[in-house]
Amino acid sequence: MAASNATFLDPHVSLGQVSAYETIGLVRKSPMEPVVRMALVGVHERVDARRACQLGILSQVVDPPERLRQEAQELAEKIARNSPAAMRLTKQALWGALELGLSDARRAGAPAVVSMWGHPDQVEGARAFVEKRDPVWQPLAPAGELESSR
């Protein structure tokens, strides 16, 4: 998310530097052409928050800009209402999808789906829904106990 007055530019090539890691990530996550344009135009053009949102580089424009932290806190609190364990596995599966072809990424993601089965959050989630209350989730197990997709 970005404040409505946020602007984006990639000056690397205007200073004789290569644009690589950041834009490689963006190329995999959003339409490529506008990213390549930013990388090759350098300091001579900027992308505004509205266009970045339209392109899906970000998902929310906050106006007025002063409300940015408040909106960020609100978004984070929405997310914090979800199962930490399920979100961790979801995050691993989705970032893992950028590492592989489609069939391989799904094959790699399938165990993540199954690995939550039998987790207390799966019982609690359904029960809280029926009882119309917020779920009480389990704290996250140490990360080392989970398989990394990398």
Partner 1 sequence: MTYSELECLRVERRGPVGWLINNRPEQLNAMSARMRDEFAVAWTELDRDPDVRVIVHTGEGRAFQTGVDVAEIAGDGVGMERYRRSVEEFDLHFTSWHQQVWKPVITAVNGLCAGGGFHWIADADMVIAASDAEFFDPHVSIGQVVALEAIGLIRKMPVEAVMRMAFVGRHERLSAERAYELGMISQIVDPPERLREEAQALGEKVARNSPAAMRATKRALWGALEQGLTDACRSGGQELVSMWGHPDQEEGPRAFAEKREPRWRDLTEP
135 belongs to the binding site for partner 1 (CB under 8 A): no
Q: Given the complex with partner 1, which of 96 and 135 has the nearer CB atom?
A: 96
**Binding range to partner 1, per CB under 8 A, among 17-25, 58-66, 111-119, 137-145:** 17-25
30 belongs to the binding site for partner 1 (CB under 8 A): yes
33 belongs to the binding site for partner 1 (CB under 8 A): yes
Enumerate residues 52-71 that contact partner 1 by CB under 8 A: 54-56
Alpha-carbon Rg for the chain, nearest whole angstrom, is 20
**Binding range to partner 1, per CB under 8 A, among 72-80, 94-102, 118-126, 127-135:** 94-102
Q: Which amino acid is at 18?
A: V
Q: Given the complex with partner 1, which of 95 and 129 has the nearer CB atom?
A: 95
Pairwise CA distance, residues 86 & 94, whole Å = 12
Structure tokens at 5: 């007055």
- Exposed, middle or buried, 58 (CB in 10 Å: 0-12/13-18/19+)? middle
**Binding range to partner 1, per CB under 8 A, among 6-14, 71-79, 114-122, 132-140:** 6-14
Binding positions for partner 1, rule: CB under 8 A: 12-21, 23-25, 27-28, 30-37, 39-42, 44-45, 54-56, 95, 98-100, 150
